[in-house]
């Protein structure tokens, strides 16, 4: 493969300016953007890691062991969140071992991810400099990565994908340094390059596998290729022996694994388990499986000009290489490293039909290598165009870099909601705020006492229910408002909003592309301009209280049975035959006929007060619980068929195992 012709000076300056603009948008966005849904899960995971040694969600352990129902025990690891926790400890927002859910703590986490994303951009630039031999091209490659809104957009908050992308970029860079200069056989482990190689590989492995253990498959392939290239390429007589160079590479990769075993022994101390379980757990995450999803996402959300430039240039570069396909000479070994990062796992994911319904964020780790490949493609087009056509090609590439950054500014701070110009012209929709980051904008629009559900689930008729959709959290959390619980994305900004009384209406915050709501009225929305139109990121709707139909005696236990009837205020543990009232708890259902009496199964150590549709009810203690009947005419609550039972515990604990309608045809 030939060397890269120098890019026009103005394109280098433009690239540098785009890096600065995109980075500034990212920093300001990290300050402005709300807490995203996945962040809350990782806060819970980290607290559980401190509490019992497993980086899992609440209720994922049973008798000290991972529950059989848990499908992601080996998917995530705590290195990134430990780094962010350390930053919060230094700044006084947290104490070691106690993870906060305050807005200040989340802000520090956001800025920490920005820093990790910036390291990824720097690693991309260094990689491009290594393979091209020019720091001008390094700046162009960094500009191309910055022109992909998904990178800096996710760097505002994404604790599980940006660190993996940065870690992978560091490993690729370290392997390139280990292989020496692209055209001169040198001892890569002598002097500065040797030290930088070892540090980059070790840091990259620690960050990547310490965040997503299954990435060992990709890193193992890259390291194996590097070791093979070391053996196959020549070296001067004074060089360290090949076997020793390979051993040093392996040592720089294994050292962080030993550190991970010390940090997270529950997983990494058992390589016979985590090496395989991490792959199987990651490939069965319950999302919709479609081989066409990822190619469609690439076509719609990668800047179209850069995509075309990269594809055309890469075709020309590799077509030229085919005339002299020497795999272990010149720049070829380095280009293979880029191709492995950019294509290996994405191709395997598409070929295997892996569930990838979250767009490009699933393959965000490939973005740094893709940016360098785009720069390589542009260099090839410069070669093909000659001196006269070079400025025209550069101008097209420059426009293709500027437009996505302009769109990122339009969408601020929701840059990840970008679609390219072709997708926008065709009217292709995208789930612009899958992450619920825009929900923060509703915090000052809600009234005191509003019960707010973020991403409300719907019944068979498309009516929102007063419950969160099940996204892997504890079943108890489904009935809690997102303004007053640790998994709620509005909790850091509106903690005192929810009221104890069940009202006839609640507020449902819904992201774009969810099924249309029935029976609700819109009260607010978050919009942003995007290219040629305006995109709706989310809406706030006032919805009537809709309850699921009563289908016979309701069983309530710690395993989650009866969870669909709950309306908040409950606690419980897996395996418990009952659930407990936290001062005041409610459940409800839709009843076709009138209500005469309810049989409530349970016990209490203190006094218990019952309400039906918020009005005091009459109760009679029995040997197994209570008989509860309306104290008068039942007040309508959202619907004449709705029945809401509220239990208030005073002076002690109250436990409930079931509720049954008595004296009415259910």
Helix (H, G, I), strand (E, B), or coil: what is residue 633? coil
Q: What is the DSSP string of 476-521?
A: GGGGS-TTSSTT-TTTTT-TT-B-SSPPSEEEEEEETTSPPPSS-E
Q: CA angle, 273 as apex, 271 and 279 as ends, to 5°? A: 100
What digits encode the pLDDT tens for the residues 470-496?
766 677 778 888 887 778 889 898 866
536 and 455: one domain?
Answer: yes
| CATH number of the structural domain spanning residue 655 | 2.60.120
Tokens 């980051």 belong to 437
Whether 95 maps to a domain, the answer reads yes
11 backbone φψ class: left, alpha, beta (φ>0; ψ -120 to 50): alpha
Report residue 70's pLDDT band, with 50, 70 and 90 as the boundaries.
confident
107 and 229: one domain?
Answer: yes
Whether 42 maps to a domain, the answer reads no
SS3 of 236-272: the string is CCCCCCHHHHHHHHHHHHHHHHHHHHHHCHHHHCCHH
Q: Are 609 and 500 in contact (CB under 8 A)?
A: no
Domain edge (last residue) among 487, 509, 544: 544
Averaged pLDDT score across all residues of the chain: 87
Q: Are 541 and 464 in contact (CB under 8 A)?
A: yes
**Per-residue pLDDT, 35:** 94
Give the whole-angstrom CA distance, residue 409 versus residue 17: 14
528 and 585: one domain?
Answer: no
Q: Is the model more confident about 204 or about 516? A: 204
Q: Tell me 553's DSSP state.
A: P
**Per-residue pLDDT, 187:** 42
**Predicted confidence (pLDDT) at residue 414 exceeds the cutoff of 80:** yes
Strand pairing partners for 607? 650
**Predicted confidence (pLDDT) at residue 387 exceeds the cutoff of 90:** no
What digits encode the pLDDT tens for the residues 634-664?
889 988 899 999 999 998 889 999 999 987 5
Report residue 234's pLDDT band, with 50, 70 and 90 as the boundaries.
low
526 and 589: one domain?
Answer: no
**Per-residue pLDDT, 594:** 82
Report residue 438's pLDDT band, with 50, 70 and 90 as the boundaries.
very high
Total domain count, the chain: 3
**Predicted confidence (pLDDT) at residue 172 exceeds the cutoff of 90:** yes
Q: Are 557 and 577 in contact (CB under 8 A)?
A: yes
Closest CA to 390 of 402, 375, 373, 378: 378
Report residue 189's pLDDT band, with 50, 70 and 90 as the boundaries.
very low
Mean pLDDT of 419-442: 82
Helix (H, G, I), strand (E, B), or coil: what is residue 61? strand
**Percent of the chain whose predicted confidence (pLDDT) is above 90:** 55
539 and 559: one domain?
Answer: no
Burial code (b: 16+ CB inside 10 Å, e: under 16) for 182-202 equals beeeeebbeeebbebbbebbb
Q: What is the DSSP string of 25-52?
A: HHHHHHHHS---HHHHHHHHHHHHHHHH
Q: Are 127 and 170 in contact (CB under 8 A)?
A: no
Q: Distances from the Cα of 568 to the Cαs of 451, 492, 501, 611, in angstroms?
A: 10, 19, 10, 15
655 and 521: one domain?
Answer: no
What digits encode the pLDDT tens for the residues 516-575?
678 899 999 999 988 778 888 999 999 999 999 998 999 998 888 898 999 988 888 777
168 and 22: one domain?
Answer: yes
**Predicted confidence (pLDDT) at residue 427 exceeds the cutoff of 90:** no
Q: Distances from the Cα of 129 to the Cαs of 137, 182, 471, in angstroms?
A: 6, 10, 42
Domain edge (last residue) among 489, 512, 544: 544
415 and 498: one domain?
Answer: no
The answer to which of 13-22, 453-462, 520-529 has the lowest mean pLDDT is 453-462
Q: What is the DSSP string of 444-473?
A: TTSPTB--EEET--B-TTSPBPSS---SSS
Residue numbers of the domain that contains 453: 437-544
**Predicted confidence (pLDDT) at residue 106 exceeds the cutoff of 90:** yes
**SS3 breakdown of the chain: % helix, strand, coil, rounded to 5?**
50, 15, 35
Whether 1 maps to a domain, the answer reads no
For the CA atoms of 88, 89, 90, 91, what is the dihedral angle to 10 degrees? 50
For residue 481 the two structure tokens come to: 């408002």
Q: Are 643 and 613 in contact (CB under 8 A)?
A: yes
258 and 385: one domain?
Answer: yes
Domain edge (last residue) among 420, 451, 473: 420
Q: Are 1 and 388 in contact (CB under 8 A)?
A: no
367 and 444: one domain?
Answer: no
Whether 512 maps to a domain, the answer reads yes
Report residue 206's pLDDT band, with 50, 70 and 90 as the boundaries.
very high
Q: Distances from the Cα of 251 to the Cαs of 178, 258, 518, in angstroms?
A: 13, 10, 60
**Per-residue pLDDT, 236:** 46
Mean pLDDT of 354-375: 84
Helix (H, G, I), strand (E, B), or coil: what is residue 55? coil
**Percent of the chain whose predicted confidence (pLDDT) is above 70:** 90
- β-strand pairing of 452-454 with 505-511: parallel
Whether 49 maps to a domain, the answer reads no
Q: Is cis: bond before 413, omega within 30 of 0? A: yes
What digits encode the pLDDT tens for the residues 135-156?
999 999 999 999 999 999 999 9
Q: Is the model more confident about 159 or about 469? A: 159
**Per-residue pLDDT, 576:** 83
Q: Distances from the Cα of 277 to the Cαs of 53, 80, 215, 354, 584, in angstroms?
A: 18, 21, 12, 16, 41
Mean pLDDT of 405-412: 94
Whether 133 maps to a domain, the answer reads yes
Whether 50 maps to a domain, the answer reads no
Mean pLDDT of 166-184: 83
Whether 562 maps to a domain, the answer reads yes
**Predicted confidence (pLDDT) at residue 235 exceeds the cutoff of 60:** no
262 and 373: one domain?
Answer: yes
98 and 152: one domain?
Answer: yes
**Predicted confidence (pLDDT) at residue 577 exceeds the cutoff of 80:** yes
What digits encode the pLDDT tens for the residues 301-321?
899 999 998 888 877 777 666
């Amino acid at each position: 493969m030939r060397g890269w012709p120098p890019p026009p000076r103005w394109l280098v300056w433009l690239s540098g300016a785009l890096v600065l603009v995109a980075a500034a948008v990212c920093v300001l966005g990290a300050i402005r953007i709300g807490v995203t849904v996945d962040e809350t899960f990782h806060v819970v995971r980290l607290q559980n890691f401190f509490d019992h040694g497993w980086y899992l969600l609440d209720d994922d352990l049973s008798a000290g062991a991972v529950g059989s129902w848990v499908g992601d025990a080996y998917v995530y690891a705590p290195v990134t969140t430990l780094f962010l926790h350390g930053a919060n400890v230094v700044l006084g927002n947290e104490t070691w071992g106690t993870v906060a859910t305050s807005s200040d703590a989340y802000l520090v986490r956001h800025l920490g991810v920005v820093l990790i994303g910036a390291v990824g951009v720097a690693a991309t630039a260094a990689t491009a400099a290594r393979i091209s031999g020019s720091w001008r091209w390094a700046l162009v490659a960094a500009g191309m990565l910055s022109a992909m809104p998904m990178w800096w957009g996710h760097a505002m908050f994404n604790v599980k994908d940006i660190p993996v992308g940065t870690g992978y970029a560091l490993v690729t860079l370290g392997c390139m340094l280990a292989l020496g200069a692209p055209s001169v056989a040198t001892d890569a482990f002598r002097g500065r390059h040797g030290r930088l190689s070892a540090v980059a590989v070790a840091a990259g492995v620690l960050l990547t596998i310490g965040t997503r253990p299954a990435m060992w498959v990709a890193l193992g392939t890259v390291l194996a290729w590097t070791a093979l290239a070391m053996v196959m390429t020549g070296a001067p007589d004074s060089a360290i022996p090949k076997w020793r160079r390979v051993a040093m590479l392996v040592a720089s990769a294994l050292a962080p694994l030993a550190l991970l075993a010390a940090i997270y022994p529950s997983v990494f101390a058992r390589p016979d388990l985590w090496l395989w379980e991490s792959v199987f757990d990651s490939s069965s995450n319950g999302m919709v499986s479609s081989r066409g999803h990822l190619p469609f996402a690439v076509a719609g959300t990668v800047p179209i000009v850069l995509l075309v430039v990269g594809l055309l240039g890469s075709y020309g570069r590799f077509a030229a290489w085919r005339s002299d396909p020497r795999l272990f000479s010149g720049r070829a070994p380095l280009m293979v490293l880029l191709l492995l990062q950019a294509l290996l796992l994405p191709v395997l994911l598409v070929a295997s039909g892996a569930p990838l319904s979250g767009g490009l964020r699933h393959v965000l780790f490939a973005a740094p290598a893709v940016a360098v490949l785009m720069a390589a493609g542009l260099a090839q087009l410069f070669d093909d165009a000659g001196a006269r056509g070079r400025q025209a090609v550069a101008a097209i590439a420059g426009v293709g870099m500027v437009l996505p950054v302009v769109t990122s500014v339009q969408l601020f701070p929701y840059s990840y909601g970008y679609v390219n110009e072709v997708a926008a012209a065709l009217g292709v929709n995208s789930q612009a705020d899958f992450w619920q980051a825009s929900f923060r904008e509703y915090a000052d629009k809600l009234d005191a006492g509003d019960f707010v559900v973020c991403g409300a689930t719907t019944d068979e008729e498309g009516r929102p229910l007063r419950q969160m959709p099940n996204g892997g959290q504890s079943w108890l959390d489904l009935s809690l408002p997102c303004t007053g619980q640790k998994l709620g994305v509005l909790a850091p900004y509106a903690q005192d909003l929810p009221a104890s009384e069940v009202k006839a209406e609640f507020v449902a915050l819904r992201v774009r592309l969810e099924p249309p709501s029935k029976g609700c009225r819109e009260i607010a929305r978050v919009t942003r301009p995007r290219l040629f139109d305006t995109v709706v990121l989310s809406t706030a709707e006032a919805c009537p209280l809709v309850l699921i139909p009563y289908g016979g005696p309701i069983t309530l236990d710690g395993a989650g049975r009866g969870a669909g009837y709950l309306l908040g205020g409950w606690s419980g543990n897996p395996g418990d035959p009952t659930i407990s009232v936290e001062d005041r708890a409610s459940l409800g259902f839709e009843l076709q006929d009138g209500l005469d009496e309810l049989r409530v199964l349970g016990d209490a150590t203190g006094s218990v007060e019952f309400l039906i549709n918020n009005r005091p009810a009459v109760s009679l203690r029995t040997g197994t619980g209570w008989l509860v009947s309306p104290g008068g005419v039942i007040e309508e609550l959202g619907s004449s068929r709705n029945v809401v039972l509220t239990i208030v515990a005073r002076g002690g604990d109250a436990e409930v195992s079931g509720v049954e309608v008595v004296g009415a045809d259910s």
